[in-house]
Amino acid sequence: MQTKNHVYISLGSNVGDKINFLQQAVDAIFEKIGDIVRISSVYQTPSWGFESEDFYNACIEIATFYSAQEVLDLLLTVEKQLGRTRAQGKGYQARTIDLDILLSSEGVIATDTLRVPHPAMQDRMFVLRPLLDIAPDVIHDTLQLKISDLINRTKDEVTPEIVRTDLVNPEAKYPISAFQYLTLEGNIGAGKTSLAHMIANEFNGKLVLEQFADNPFLPKFYEDMDRYAFPLEMSFLADRYQRLQDDIGQFDLFTDFVVSDYDVFKSLIFAKITLQQEEFKLYKKVFDLMYSKLPKPGLYVYLYQSTERLLQNIKKRGRDYEQKISEDYLEKINKGYLQFIKSQTEFKTKIIDVSDLDFIKNRSDYITILQTLVAQQ
């Protein structure tokens, strides 16, 4: 998975319902740009550089797949959405919302439209004080000083006064951890592993992934399915059972829930397609014994992808042994999953069609999936 960029953003408002504008900005940043990692308290400070109402200021840390330049472009759209008009050449003005990038894990950036670290942040208490709340030990990339040191050295004598401490992290709208054990399933190339990574990372989940790459029978199976189907399916069943027993059964003090990119029932779905009738009868006896002893998910999600899109994804990720997978094979797998879901009564299930979504590159598509996960059936 791509490493996320951590960006620190200053928020300010001195027009109208200032708290509401700050909260709307936080919500929009979450929906359009990335995870909200930390939110400072809100501070009141005099307007800086012009006469106007006092400002309410805050800082947030976000984690995003976007570059700092892309974040800047998106922040400008958020400002516009909230009624901010940037008038060129008119100096400082009152504003519904003001969003500035302060720091980025990309380090020093100097372009025509963006400079990071923000060139004036060390001289402005309305930036430093809320930033101290969330990043006291973060180092300024050019001055090589911690934020806690910068605030002691600044010449700005303004003392921001704390106003509120309750800006809400929009993640609270998505109680993913309430599922306790979330299973994300899908056909080959559906994107289940990528989504599991994203959800575990954002919502502090324990990630349980299938270790298919270590199976010595898998490349051989795609070369000769009849010969290697039974040893492949038996080895997968044993591995999946053992991992789920170990990872789900073991309590973790540092995570809030478990998210997995597979359920052991997929073993039966694939085995029914690949095994001969007598082999499948034997396999199912072993499977039934194992399956009855495993914990069941709080929510089982099937990510549906069109066969055409699956083949594109398989080709794109470039695993040599997968390149001979046929359209017919993928359609049989999809049919097997849908039959399983239709007959399932032990736990809650959802089907999400992601054929037209790109939840890795498009944050709004990811939010759509989160909304579907927590929506009442």
Of 170, 198, 232, at which residue does a domain stop? 170
Residues 85 and 32 in one domain: yes
The tens digit of pLDDT for each residue in 116-132 reads 999 999 999 999 999 99
The CATH number for 89's domain is 3.30.70.560
Q: What is the pLDDT of residue 1?
A: 59
Q: What is the pLDDT of residue 80?
A: 94
Task: Indicate the pLDDT class of residue 323, thresholds 50, 70 and 90.
Answer: confident
The tens digit of pLDDT for each residue in 271-320 reads 999 999 999 999 999 999 998 888 889 999 999 999 999 999 899 888 88
Which strands sit side by side in the sheet containing 205-208, from one edge to the other?
A: 205-208, 257-260, 181-186, 299-304, 349-353
Q: What is the pLDDT of residue 175?
A: 94
Give the rounded percent of residues in the chain with a pLDDT score beyond 70.
Answer: 95
First vs last C-alpha separation in the chain: 31
pLDDT of 200 over the 80 cut: yes
Q: What is the pLDDT of residue 293?
A: 86
Residues 158 and 239 in one domain: no
SS3 annotation, the chain? CCCCEEEEEEEEECCCCHHHHHHHHHHHHHHHCCEEEEECCEEEECCCCCCCCCEEEEEEEEEECCCHHHHHHHHHHHHHHCCCCCCCCCCCCCCCCEEEEEEECCCCEECCCCEECCCCHHHCHHHHHHHHHHCCCCECCCCCCEHHHHHHHCCCCCCCEEEECCCCCHHHHCCHHHHCEEEEEECCCCCHHHHHHHHHHHHCEEEECCCHHHCCHHHHHHHCHHHHHHHHHHHHHHHHHHHHHHHHHCCCCCCCEEEECCCCCHHHHHHHHHCCHHHHHHHHHHHHHHHCCCCCCCEEEEEECCHHHHHHHHHHHCCHHHCCCCHHHHHHHHHHHHHHHHHCCCCCEEEEECCCCCCCCCHHHHHHHHHHHHCCC
Task: Indicate the pLDDT class of residue 218, thresholds 50, 70 and 90.
Answer: confident
Q: Are 148 and 132 in contact (CB under 8 A)?
A: yes
Residues 198 and 155 in one domain: no
Give the rounded percent of residues in the chain with a pLDDT score beyond 90.
Answer: 75
pLDDT of 74 over the 90 cut: yes
The tens digit of pLDDT for each residue in 228-243 reads 999 999 998 988 888 8
The contacts of residue 295 (CB under 8 Å, 6+ apart) are: 181, 244, 248, 249
Higher pLDDT, 41 or 251: 41
The CATH number for 348's domain is 3.40.50.300
The total number of structural domains that make up the chain: 2
Mean of pLDDT values over 45-62: 88
Residues 253 and 138 in one domain: no
Of 170, 199, 229, at which residue does a domain stop? 170
The tens digit of pLDDT for each residue in 350-361 reads 999 999 999 988
Mean of pLDDT values over 181-193: 94
Residues 161 and 307 in one domain: no
Of 170, 191, 210, at which residue does a domain stop? 170
pLDDT of 193 over the 80 cut: yes
Higher pLDDT, 144 or 313: 144
Count the Cβ atoms, other than its own, within 10 Å of residue 223: 10
Residues 158 and 205 in one domain: no
Lowest mean pLDDT among 14-23, 69-78, 340-349: 340-349
Residues 187 and 290 in one domain: yes
Residues 252 and 361 in one domain: yes
Residues 183 and 155 in one domain: no
Q: What is the pLDDT of residue 151?
A: 96
Mean of pLDDT values over 149-157: 95
Residues 63 and 185 in one domain: no
Residue 329 domain boundaries: 174-374
Lowest mean pLDDT among 89-93, 167-171, 321-325, 331-335: 89-93
pLDDT of 89 over the 70 cut: no
Does the annotation mark 358 as catalytic? no
Higher pLDDT, 33 or 249: 33
Q: What is the pLDDT of residue 213?
A: 62
- Nearest-CA neighbor of 13 among 27, 28, 24? 24
Residues 184 and 38 in one domain: no
Q: What is the pLDDT of residue 94?
A: 78
Catalytic residue among 27, 156, 214, 261: 261
Q: Which amino acid is at 41?
A: S
The contacts of residue 239 (CB under 8 Å, 6+ apart) are: 211, 215
Residues 117 and 216 in one domain: no
Provide the mean pLDDT of the chain: 91
pLDDT of 90 over the 70 cut: no
